[in-house]
Chains A and B, each alone.
Chain A
Amino acid sequence: CSEYQKALKSEDIATKFKMGTELYDDGKFSKANKLFAQIVPQYRGKPQAEKLMFMYSNSFYQMKDYYLAGYQFERFESQYPKSEKAEEALFLSAKSFYMLSPVYSKEQKETVTAIEKLQLFINKFPESEYLPQANKLIQELDYKLERKDFEIAKLYNKIANFESADYEASIKAFDNFLLDYPGTSFREEAMYYRFDSAYRLGINSVEYKREDRLNTAIKYYNAFQKAYPESEFSSEAEKMNAELQTAIQHYTIKS
């Protein structure tokens, strides 16, 4: 029966604490975590609790149990706000939430929480050594949210042909996207695809709405052209615009 097993069954909390600390220092976080979990209630209010709680929280983080790590680190920070580890704990708490953020194409509840937590950390410790890292993480998460909305808008463009040629959904979604994320890195693509949707809607339109739709498409082309005169999509866009110009002439001549 190993010493670890003995410690697990032991009644003496000091033995557990000692053994747990050794294991923790050796990088055996899962074993250490089990021992810590047993003695956390008994140490509550005692002077060693601060060290114990930090190790306990960190063992969850190391075990990749980010749900509990996020929660425990946050608790640590609120219980020992004066601790020298408080800053690190709050950062690791926020980073745990960051770790929980799923791929962009699934629900982003955790992403939003992570951004909030990171922002909270930055507000609280604006001088922190972790600041650059925190900013980077926020950027990454913001990008994820942008990408989600961008991909959905693009999806509407992709599937619009089916049934009703509903490019309006795509145009509206891109409009909302550009409004919601003015500084997005997808701006160029978004403006191009918005124009692409409007172009398709205009060219394939029913007669009585055609003129309006062609004009809208041209408006979007101009906006795109003005913002990105040297875009990789420029040649394609120019071709489409030329087609629109030909189509619209039909109306201008008549009137």
Chain B
Amino acid sequence: QESPLNLGQKYTIAEIIVTGDTNFSEATIVTFSGLRKGEVIAIPGERISEALKKLWGSNLFSNIDIYLTKTEGDQAYLEISLQDLPELNDVEIRGVKKGKKEALIKDNKLNKGVKVTENLITTTKNYLTNKYRKDGFYNTKVTVTTTPVIDSIEKSRVNMLVNIEKNDKVKIKNIDFIGNEKLSDKKLRKAMKHTKQKNFLRFLKRSKYVKDNYKEDLVSVIDKYKENGYRDARVIADSISNNDDGTLSIAVNIEEGEKYTFGKIAFVGNTIFTDQQLSSMLGIEQGDTYNGVELKKRIADDSRPDAQDITNLYQDSGYLFSTINPVEVSADGNVIDMEIRISEGKPAYFNNVTVVGNDKTNDRVIYRELRTRPGQLYSKTAVVRTVRELGQLGFFDAQQLSPNFKNANPNEGTLDMEYSVVEKGSSQIELQGGYGGGGFIGTLGLSFNNFAIKDIFKGEAYKPVPTGDGQSLALRLQASRFYQTYSFSFTEPWMGGKRPIQFSTSLSHTMQFLYNPRTRDADKSKSFNITGITVGLAKRLTQPDDYFTLSQAISFQHYDLQNYNTGLFTFGNGYSNNLAYTIGLSRNNTHTDPIYPTGGSSFSVTAKVSPPFSLLNNVDYTALKDERAGLNPTDPDDYARMGEIDQERYKWLEFYKVKFKGDWYTKVVDKLVIKSGIEFGFLGAYNNDRGVIPFERFFVGGDGLGNYSLDGRESIAMRGYPNQSLSSQDGGTIYNKFSLELRYPITLGAQAKIFALGFMEGGSSYDNFKDYNPFNLKRSAGVGLRIFMPAFGLLGIDFGHGFDALPGQSEKNGWETHFIIGQQF
């Protein structure tokens, strides 16, 4: 038997020559074709067609032929004739704006030097046609023509002309429905999400005709019927006609069918949940309008992984292998009886749990955060929460975190879990210089968020810094002519590696010099130095729930004045020490985006107290107080004595400070969120004769930036008023603030999150408790905008109107503009 392929006679190839217009050497082409001199082949035969295929496949030639020029006995002489494909020389695009051309060239890879194949021309044409059709230019025509470059000596080249005729945008004049009685035209038009009638009031979504979207929308129309019990509804016909004015008209002919209702709903196969539990989760009762879409959603809502549906009810109890199928058992008289058939399967337990992709972070930093551990019952919620919490560590790209189910074994009831992570850079270097505060300011900041302090003496760990233990380390140096600040901080999230107890410490040193009016320079002999150290522990609590954190810290600050007579203190030479213990309880369950929370609340209560020194040191502060009251500050001798007395009072600062802060986030509709907040702070003294210290005070007003400057002061934001304007010059000892903010997001993409806000707030500060009146508030209202970009942090601007007068004035304060950097209101 002989197949047609073997029909050819056998020949030995005596010679292969290459003809045609090509720049490739003969040897190259012959080698590429795969044919060899001396080879015995059948002509015609498979080898020849293979050679053709290979040459075509190179995408370098056109007009490829292989000829048998002559035969001598069993010797065959072959000729390969081909032409080089032309290279693209120049592209001209007509019919679009100049700025768009480059993008189009890039999208279609029309770079100089590419081989112009038929395929390239066709795909370019199709791509462009579809692109503009998608934007509503239904009548787009694209032509691509090529012309050879005449003066090409070496290679054949062509110029390409792409002509795009977008024509007018096709709008839809009207969409008519025929045959609809139960649902109005308007309702059905609304169901069409992408295809809209022309309407000048609707400017967010323009009217355009895109075929794919239109087909989708027809399905939505039918879904709308199904949601209302018309499960037989269908589109009988639809037509699109062109109008004279270039618009389209759409007519859709619908057959509605009859309305159905749910009959009995029975559960079959459920053993761990009762019928009652399941039917309350289902939320559909006998007699309800038949709604297939809703039924499906109540059983398994694909749009939300954490939805409250029957599937998740099982998934969260370990029943990974459960399946749930709704089946219609009868449809008598438009009443549909349902049976929800459940196959529960075995409960699934985690076997191996692994993490891959951590080429920087050490295992234990990740594994200790896992909420799914070997031997535990499978729970979907635990998986979702693990992924979320791994993302919150900040070491991995949250978008690329994925839980991979492996080796799921329904017979054994086991599964393996693999969390795939992708490391991201979590170190930041800040180096900046600029003018401010009367001179050049240089800043060098380094912060490493996944540091490994145990490796700092290991040379090979520097790539470029030791990483992987989840610690954070920050160094910051700032210097100008008038001051220098050095700070260092370190945080270990799991002290000792056993419990999630966060240990943090920070050191800082600030030197401030007085301005010398004669030399117009810093006077190094007049200085105010502050040195501080803080050591703190924070512990995640499990009671009352695991959103609580208890934190404690001990801090010490030493203030040292050398010849620093500014009126800040009555003494210019002296010192002061601030030793305090801080304890705080906070709870934060805001979700889900930390930049734009849409729900939950956060609150914190803190108390910062110093030891009661006056009980121990036997100084008679009453006498000192009486003596000070009798002195005259304008008399130099008396003033010096006052300095001495104050030095005695502030040697060791004695105070207690209590603060409360709470924020609530409530979703109103869609993405509109109300944030309501309340704040309160009180600074007091144990010994009233010794008095309330001039440090650690509250300054209300303005943007609230510049927290914790020199004297431990706290800036409290209060928009609509100048910075720190609502407190007396020395600062208040008590303050409160109430605010209400309405937020709406413009975009919440990964690149940038932008939201607009409107606010109303009221707050004020008081010098002592006697004056305190929580309802005597300075009020303001205004609007603002926030932009968050990962590289820049949070930036914002607020325009606030102060309705009340500043202290000492009678007119209302009026408009103020605030710029916000890095801080959240």
Partner of A151, one of B358, B359, B364, B542: B364
Cα distance A169–B377 in the bound complex, in angstroms = 11
Is A81 interfacial (CB 8 A cutoff)?
Answer: no
Quick check: B374 and A155 within 8 Å, CB to CB?
no
With a cutoff of 8 Å between Cβ atoms, the chain B residues found around residue A105 in the complex are: 362-364, 468
Quick check: A107 and B358 within 8 Å, CB to CB?
yes
Quick check: A106 and B363 within 8 Å, CB to CB?
yes
A169-B373 contact, Cβ under 8 Å, with A105-B362, A106-B359: yes
Partner of A148, one of B357, B363, B375: B363
**Which one of B361, B374, B376, B498 has the highest number of Cβ atoms from chain A below 10 Å of its Cβ?**
B374
Cα distance A172–B352 in the bound complex, in angstroms = 9
Smallest CB–CB gap between A143 and chain B, Å?
16
Quick check: A109 and B364 within 8 Å, CB to CB?
no
Partner of A176, one of B356, B358, B374, B500: B374
Cα distance A102–B468 in the bound complex, in angstroms = 12
**Which one of B359, B360, B497 has the highest number of Cβ atoms from chain A below 10 Å of its Cβ?**
B359
Quick check: A172 and B358 within 8 Å, CB to CB?
no
A156-B499 contact, Cβ under 8 Å, with A106-B468, A107-B356, A107-B357: no
Quick check: B375 and A172 within 8 Å, CB to CB?
yes
Which B residue's beta carbon lies closest to that of A155?
B364
With a cutoff of 8 Å between Cβ atoms, the chain B residues found around residue A158 in the complex are: 497-498
* Mask of A147-185 contacts with B, CB within 8 angstroms, 1/0: 010011001101101110010110111001000000000
Is B367 interfacial (CB 8 A cutoff)?
Answer: yes
List residues of B (344-385) whose CB comes within 8 Å of A's CBs. 350-352, 355-364, 367-368, 373-376
Which A residue's beta carbon lies closest to that of B360?
A106
Cα distance A163–B468 in the bound complex, in angstroms = 25
With a cutoff of 8 Å between Cβ atoms, the chain A residues found around residue B375 in the complex are: 168-169, 171-173
Smallest CB–CB gap between A190 and chain B, Å?
14
Which A residue's beta carbon lies closest to that of B350?
A172
Cα distance A169–B352 in the bound complex, in angstroms = 10
Quick check: A106 and B358 within 8 Å, CB to CB?
yes
Quick check: A152 and B356 within 8 Å, CB to CB?
no
Cα distance A152–B373 in the bound complex, in angstroms = 11
Smallest CB–CB gap between A181 and chain B, Å?
13
Quick check: B499 and A162 within 8 Å, CB to CB?
yes
Cα distance A163–B351 in the bound complex, in angstroms = 21
A161-B359 contact, Cβ under 8 Å, with A171-B375, A172-B375, A176-B351: no
Q: How many residues in A have their beta carbons less than 8 Å from beta carbons of B?
A: 22
List residues of B (484-500) whose CB comes within 8 Å of A's CBs. 497-500
With a cutoff of 8 Å between Cβ atoms, the chain B residues found around residue A172 in the complex are: 350-351, 373-375
Cα distance A161–B363 in the bound complex, in angstroms = 19
Quick check: A156 and B363 within 8 Å, CB to CB?
no
Smallest CB–CB gap between A55 and chain B, Å?
27
List residues of B (114-159) whose CB comes within 8 Å of A's CBs. none
Cα distance A169–B542 in the bound complex, in angstroms = 19
Smallest CB–CB gap between B122 and chain A, Å?
35
Cα distance A176–B373 in the bound complex, in angstroms = 12
With a cutoff of 8 Å between Cβ atoms, the chain A residues found around residue B497 in the complex are: 158-159
The total of interchain contacts (Cβ-Cβ below 8 angstroms) comes to 65
Which A residue's beta carbon lies closest to that of B416?
A176
Smallest CB–CB gap between B547 and chain A, Å?
13
With a cutoff of 8 Å between Cβ atoms, the chain B residues found around residue A163 in the complex are: 542, 546
With a cutoff of 8 Å between Cβ atoms, the chain B residues found around residue A171 in the complex are: 375
Which B residue's beta carbon lies closest to that of A148?
B363
Cα distance A105–B367 in the bound complex, in angstroms = 11
**Which one of A148, A155, A159, A161 has the highest number of Cβ atoms from chain B below 10 Å of its Cβ?**
A159
Quick check: B498 and A152 within 8 Å, CB to CB?
no
Smallest CB–CB gap between A145 and chain B, Å?
12
With a cutoff of 8 Å between Cβ atoms, the chain B residues found around residue A109 in the complex are: 356
Partner of B376, one of A106, A152, A162, A168: A168
* Mask of A87-117 contacts with B, CB within 8 angstroms, 1/0: 0000000000000001001110100000000
Cα distance A151–B362 in the bound complex, in angstroms = 11
Cα distance A159–B468 in the bound complex, in angstroms = 19
Quick check: A161 and B499 within 8 Å, CB to CB?
yes
A176-B364 contact, Cβ under 8 Å, with A158-B497, A161-B498: no
Partner of A166, one of B360, B363, B376: B376
Cα distance A141–B617 in the bound complex, in angstroms = 66
Partner of A152, one of B351, B363, B468: B363
Which B residue's beta carbon lies closest to that of A160?
B373
Cα distance A169–B367 in the bound complex, in angstroms = 11
Smallest CB–CB gap between B500 and chain A, Å?
7
With a cutoff of 8 Å between Cβ atoms, the chain A residues found around residue B360 in the complex are: 106
With a cutoff of 8 Å between Cβ atoms, the chain A residues found around residue B364 in the complex are: 105, 151-152, 155
Which B residue's beta carbon lies closest to that of A167?
B375
With a cutoff of 8 Å between Cβ atoms, the chain B residues found around residue A148 in the complex are: 363
Quick check: A156 and B373 within 8 Å, CB to CB?
yes
With a cutoff of 8 Å between Cβ atoms, the chain A residues found around residue B362 in the complex are: 105-106
A156-B374 contact, Cβ under 8 Å, with A106-B358, A162-B499: yes
Which A residue's beta carbon lies closest to that of B356?
A107
With a cutoff of 8 Å between Cβ atoms, the chain B residues found around residue A162 in the complex are: 498-500
Smallest CB–CB gap between B248 and chain A, Å?
56
Cα distance A152–B498 in the bound complex, in angstroms = 13
Which A residue's beta carbon lies closest to that of B354?
A152
Quick check: A152 and B367 within 8 Å, CB to CB?
yes
Cα distance A166–B382 in the bound complex, in angstroms = 15
Cα distance A27–B617 in the bound complex, in angstroms = 75
Partner of B363, one of A155, A159, A168, A173: A155
Cα distance A176–B351 in the bound complex, in angstroms = 8
Cα distance A161–B381 in the bound complex, in angstroms = 22
**Which one of B350, B352, B497 has the highest number of Cβ atoms from chain A below 10 Å of its Cβ?**
B352
With a cutoff of 8 Å between Cβ atoms, the chain A residues found around residue B352 in the complex are: 176
Smallest CB–CB gap between A208 and chain B, Å?
17
With a cutoff of 8 Å between Cβ atoms, the chain A residues found around residue B359 in the complex are: 102, 106-107
Quick check: B363 and A169 within 8 Å, CB to CB?
no
Cα distance A169–B351 in the bound complex, in angstroms = 9
Which B residue's beta carbon lies closest to that of A163?
B542
A173-B374 contact, Cβ under 8 Å, with A152-B367, A159-B499: yes
Cα distance A87–B552 in the bound complex, in angstroms = 63
With a cutoff of 8 Å between Cβ atoms, the chain A residues found around residue B363 in the complex are: 105-106, 148, 151-152, 155
Smallest CB–CB gap between B720 and chain A, Å?
46
Cα distance A176–B359 in the bound complex, in angstroms = 24
Smallest CB–CB gap between A124 and chain B, Å?
29
With a cutoff of 8 Å between Cβ atoms, the chain A residues found around residue B367 in the complex are: 152, 155-156
Partner of A169, one of B355, B357, B358, B376: B376
Smallest CB–CB gap between B678 and chain A, Å?
31
* Mask of B209-248 contacts with A, CB within 8 angstroms, 1/0: 0000000000000000000000000000000000000000
Which A residue's beta carbon lies closest to that of B501?
A162
Which B residue's beta carbon lies closest to that of A108?
B356
Cα distance A145–B396 in the bound complex, in angstroms = 23
With a cutoff of 8 Å between Cβ atoms, the chain A residues found around residue B357 in the complex are: 107
Smallest CB–CB gap between B371 and chain A, Å?
9
Smallest CB–CB gap between B585 and chain A, Å?
19
Smallest CB–CB gap between A156 and chain B, Å?
6
With a cutoff of 8 Å between Cβ atoms, the chain B residues found around residue A107 in the complex are: 355-359
Partner of B361, one of A106, A166, A173: A106
**Which one of B363, B376, B500 has the highest number of Cβ atoms from chain A below 10 Å of its Cβ?**
B363
Cα distance A168–B376 in the bound complex, in angstroms = 7
With a cutoff of 8 Å between Cβ atoms, the chain B residues found around residue A102 in the complex are: 359
Cα distance A163–B546 in the bound complex, in angstroms = 9
With a cutoff of 8 Å between Cβ atoms, the chain B residues found around residue A176 in the complex are: 351-352, 374
Smallest CB–CB gap between B372 and chain A, Å?
9
A-B contact pairs, 18 of them (CB 8 A): A105-B468, A106-B362, A106-B363, A107-B357, A148-B363, A151-B363, A151-B364, A156-B374, A158-B497, A158-B498, A161-B499, A163-B542, A172-B373, A172-B375, A173-B373, A173-B374, A173-B375, A176-B351
In addition to A151-B363, A159-B499, A161-B498, 5 A-B residue pairs with Cβ atoms within 8 Å of each other are: A106-B358, A156-B367, A159-B498, A162-B499, A166-B373
Top 6 A-B pairs, shortest CB-CB distance: A172-B375, A169-B373, A172-B374, A105-B362, A168-B375, A105-B363
